[in-house]
Amino acid sequence: INILGTLNVLNVALKNSVEKFLFASSGAVYGEAKYLPIDEGHPLEPHWPYGVSKLSAERYVVQYHKLFGLSTTAFRYGIVYGPREWFGRVLTMFIKRIFLENKPPVVFGDGSQTRDFVYVSDVVKAHMLAIKNPYADGQVFNISGGKGISIKGLAKILVEMSGKELEIIYDNPAEGTASSFQPERIRLTGELRNFVLDYGKAKKIINWSPATDLKDGLTKEIEWILKKPKRWNTKPRV
């Protein structure tokens, strides 16, 4: 879907003289960080299929701009979160356990892995700025919060926000196997150790920077799921 689907949409966009083509790429195209924060010049060495497919599609997007003059912009996102987030990523697992099930969050390993979260409305703002700015044509931008937080740090913040007396559970299942404390949760293969993106290029060219504090964004997502708890009554996506 990521490769052929993108190519199909590119061809339709070109045929119909679409004014602007925005592509949702991913920070997964970088693979394990060689340095932090990761800028757009970082080596592109994805080491699992999702990142490989995103990188392949992204290169088609850039080439369609160079070869055919299609106005394109690609975005390599951090972890996008907020209301209506799909269930399956670590943040949603934590929120569901703590706020809907009154259970402690389960952290894989020692929890020192770092992640970079960016609120959904900030992502939308980046899209709008790129649409309006001709200097965004043919560019690839990191869109992120620009700050790393450890997985155990994220779990602690959520427990504190809940006001509940819950002790974080640390579990260390092998990659590709389920947690003994949370059987529906599978530890991903090829899990990244550290992931923090540098959004300096987006700030320079389209004047974008994240505006939403992590706790404020978490509050909005928690308020949303408490009103619509059935939205996450599904098997986790991976």
Among 2.102.10.10, 3.20.20.70, 3.60.110.10, 3.40.50.720, what is the CATH number of 4-232? Answer: 3.40.50.720
User: What's the pLDDT at 188?
Assistant: 85
Residue 238 has pLDDT above 60, yes or no: no
Counting residues of the chain whose pLDDT is more than 90, the rounded percentage is: 90
Do residues 165 and 236 touch, judged by C-beta distance below 8 A?
Answer: no
pLDDT at position 3: 96
The SS3 call for residue 127 is helix
Does residue 236 have a pLDDT over 80?
no
pLDDT tens, 107-125?
Answer: 999 999 999 999 999 999 9
Going by C-alpha positions, the residue among 11, 19, 6 that lies closest to residue 134 is 19
Higher per-residue confidence, 131 vs 238: 131
The winner for highest mean pLDDT among 20-24, 85-89, 185-189 is 20-24
Domain locations along the chain: 4-232
Among 30, 35, 50, 135, the one annotated catalytic = 50
CA-based nearest residue to 47, from 29, 27, 26: 29
If 0-12 CB within 10 Å is exposed, 13-18 middle and 19+ buried, where does residue 208 land? Answer: buried
Determine whether 81 is an active site residue. no
Give the angle 125-225-209 at the CA atoms, nearest 5°.
20
Average pLDDT, the chain: 96
CA distance 113 to 30: 16
Token pair listed for 19? 């004014």
pLDDT value for 184: 87
The pLDDT value given to residue 237: 63
d(CA 222, CA 195): 24
pLDDT bracket for residue 190 (50, 70, 90) = confident
> Which of 80, 79, 85 lies closest to 224 in space, CA to CA?
85
Q: Which residues of 30-46 are buried (b: 16+ CB within 10 A; e: fewer)?
A: bbebeeebbebebeeeb
Q: Tell me the pLDDT band of 143, cut-offs 50, 70 and 90.
A: very high
d(CA 7, CA 63): 11
Tell me the residue type at 12: V
Decide if pLDDT at 210 tops 60: yes
Give mean pLDDT, residues 9-26: 98
Of the listed ranges 79-83, 168-172, 174-178, the least confidently predicted one is: 174-178
Q: What's the mean pLDDT in 150-160? A: 99
Tell me the pTM.
Answer: 0.94
Residue 115 CB neighbour total at 10 angstroms: 22
User: Average pLDDT, stretch 62-79?
Assistant: 98
Residue 76 one-letter amino acid: R
| pLDDT value at 16 more than 60 | yes
